Chain A
Amino acid sequence: MTFLPKPKLHHPKLASNALGFTRRDYEGSISTLCAGCGHDSISAAIIHACFELDLPPHRIAKLSGIGCSSKTPTYFLGNSHGFNSVHGRMPSVLTGANLANRELIYLGVSGDGDSASIGFGQFAHSIRRGVNMTYIVENNGVYGLTKGQFSATADKGAKNKRGVPNNDEPIDMVSMALQLGATYVGRSFSGDKTQLVPLIKGALTHKGAAFIDCISPCVAFNNHDGSTKSFDYVREHNAAVNFLDVIETRDEITADYAPGTVEIVRQHDGTYLKLRKIANDYDATDRISAMNYLQTHHARGEIVTGLLYVDPDAEDMHAALGTAMAPLNGMSDEALVPGNAALAKLNASLR
């Protein structure tokens, strides 16, 4: 924890994006998390991603629940909309906000306690409804705010700081998201920004429910020998399947890659995802084989990271419900409250 605000001085050659903002303009107030917390690296990755995508900060809504991870939205995007909701209820609040205003970019930030325990149901339903959002779980396997008890994502057999093993089966958030129909699923590691930043960029441009499970070591309670979510363990067991670049237009794609090493996926909104393959047999657009691959490699003790699944033709909740194109706050009172005559007409149509 640091008490001083970050000095306003910056590098003299700090780059600006298309909107004229520097990366520093996407920062929030200084983090009060423990020094070295993986969550702070994820915050930095989100800042990088939003800066590089030229996102206008006032068009982003960041929502969170309760926990160390859910504190982090204070530490990035200081000029965006924010809602720190009740424990585990972030997905529901996000769904409601998205229904009311579909034009904002929704970023849900949650943790393993918030999403895999108290908010498991909320998480599941927001994913299966296909809410257009980026849902990031900052997964450290412990409850940091209450002094490091195992959370629902802690691996069976992993030891806590005092050497006591965990006896419960873990919930694999990525497998759950795939099962529930998320249309963009990734897993990454807070200690690897070269992988994480493009993954967040891809999620932000994706239309539909984008889910990222980000392993984020808890330096205070889960970064020791015997932990399966420590910096050392994750680095040793990291089995990346691909490396993602987000590309804006088709023109930038040159065709001089060796066959089979690059996979290009066109997304619905015209953006292209360029995947540099690491595992040759991995197809990121095949959900069933992705689930198989995950289980096989999980059994070998490997942590599979990268863009695990993407459905480029995904639709979101608004398309399924056939809602109005304009956000509610942009409609006139007459449109929002059409009056008794319209109600009578509707009722008559249902008789």
Chain B
Amino acid sequence: MGLGEDVFERDAAGFGQGAAIVVLGCGAVRGDLHADFAPGGFDVEEAPGGDAAFGPKNIIWAVAHAHQAAISIDKFCQAQDIADRPAPGVTLVSQKMGIHEWSYDNDVSIDLRFKVPHREKKLSLIDIKAEVELGFDPELALKEAHRCLNCDVQTVFAPKLCIECDACVDICPVDCITFTDDGEEAELRTRLNAPALDMTQDIYVSDGLKTGRIMAKDEDMCLHCGLCAERCPTGAWDMQRFLLDMAQVNPVSAKLEALA
């Protein structure tokens, strides 16, 4: 049993995530996990991690780094390629509850950010112990929550169901959907209802339509308002919540493996 394996089994498996943070704290691994492990062993000098490498981050990042570190250490100790990472779990779940009912709030809010109310300056200056930020009351909190961009809700297109009635094109408030002839991407981008010229932002293109045209959608502009899916007579558009599960050390399964 190598040192890394020992750390992994004893700490990560036996004591859960807290232990993984300990690994990070030692400065043994870095956030992008595998590239800097020197061949033949962990090089503490060359593979820093956590705050030491990336500057101030919160506990969520620390836990994420540690999970990846633990996987790397485990792979290394078992003489496996650490670049070969376990695939993340991906789930897309339809948010449709009725004909025009979604399990997320799709009413786009145009409110600007609401400011957290502060205690009156006079009072907060007198009393050093008084909290300055009062926090949102339920009403304001709800309004602020309604500003959610629903960026995890994806528009998923099923070309087989599409009858090309243009309802989604007509309703889209930001003109991000186009049905047109196929072409090379750079040229296609200029032909959209609203040209998508920012090459760093992908466009969503789907073929398989009856007329042989393609559907192109500028994801950069999408508001996730779901009106395309509401106006779609055949359900070719669906709003699906996207969840990415990064591979993590599972304390329970690791423990079971260790016992076996």
Contact = CB atoms under 8 A, between A and B. Distances in A.
A6 B233 contact: no
A13 B175 CA distance: 10
B232 A36 contact: yes
A2 B171 contact: yes
A108 interface: no
A6 B106 CA distance: 11
A215 to B, nearest CB: 13
Given A35-B233, A36-B233, A7 B225 contact: yes
Contacts of A266: none
B207 interface: no
Contacts of A147: none
Contacts of A223: 163
Given A2-B171, A7-B225, A231 B233 contact: no
Nearest to B231: A35
A41 B167 contact: yes
> Which of the four size classes fits the interface of chain A?
20 to 34
Contacts of B163: 36, 219, 223, 231-232
Contacts of B211: 235
A35 B194 contact: no
B165 A41 contact: yes
A73 B185 CA distance: 38
B20 interface: no
Interface in A1-26: 1-4, 6-11, 13-14, 24
B43 interface: no
A191 B162 CA distance: 13
A190 B230 CA distance: 19
Given A219-B165, A231-B164, A3 B171 contact: no
Contacts of B171: 2, 6, 40
Contacts of B195: 13
B170 to A, nearest CB: 4
A81 B233 CA distance: 31
Contact of A14 (B164, B194, B232): B194
Interface string A102-118: 00000000000000000
A3 B226 CA distance: 12
Q: Which of B170, B171, B210 has the most CB of A within 10 A?
A: B170
B170 A41 contact: yes
B166 A41 contact: yes
Nearest to A4: B107
B166 A190 contact: yes
B170 A44 contact: yes
Q: Which of B176, B232, B233, B234 has the most CB of A within 10 A?
A: B233
A190 B106 CA distance: 28
Q: Which of A11, A37, A191, A193 has the most CB of B within 10 A?
A: A11
B contact patch SS:
loop
B145 interface: no
B88 to A, nearest CB: 32
B141 interface: no
B27 to A, nearest CB: 45
Contact of A11 (B106, B166, B194, B210): B194
A14 B170 CA distance: 14
A217 B176 CA distance: 24
A198 interface: no
A342 B165 CA distance: 60
Interface string B216-254: 000001010101001111100000000000000000000
Interface in A150-184: none
Contact of A231 (B110, B165, B231, B232): B165
Contact of A232 (B107, B210, B221): B210
Nearest to B233: A36
A10 B174 contact: yes
A10 B225 CA distance: 12
B115 interface: no
Given A7-B108, A9-B108, A191 B227 contact: no
A260 B171 CA distance: 39
Contact of B194 (A6, A13, A232): A13
Contacts of A144: none
B232 to A, nearest CB: 6
A202 interface: no
A3 B108 contact: no
Interface in B157-194: 163-167, 169-171, 173-176, 194
Contacts of B166: 41, 44, 190-191, 193
Contacts of B122: none
A9 B175 contact: no
Interface in A64-117: none
Interface of A: 1-4, 6-11, 13-14, 24, 34-38, 40-41, 43-44, 190-191, 193, 217, 219, 223, 231-232, 235
Given A7-B227, A36-B233, 4 more contacts: A2-B230, A10-B174, A11-B174, A35-B233
17 contacts: A6-B173, A7-B223, A8-B110, A10-B175, A14-B175, A14-B194, A34-B233, A35-B232, A36-B165, A37-B165, A38-B165, A40-B171, A191-B164, A191-B166, A217-B165, A219-B233, A232-B163
Interface of B: 100, 106-108, 110, 163-167, 169-171, 173-176, 194-195, 210-211, 221, 223, 225, 227, 230-234
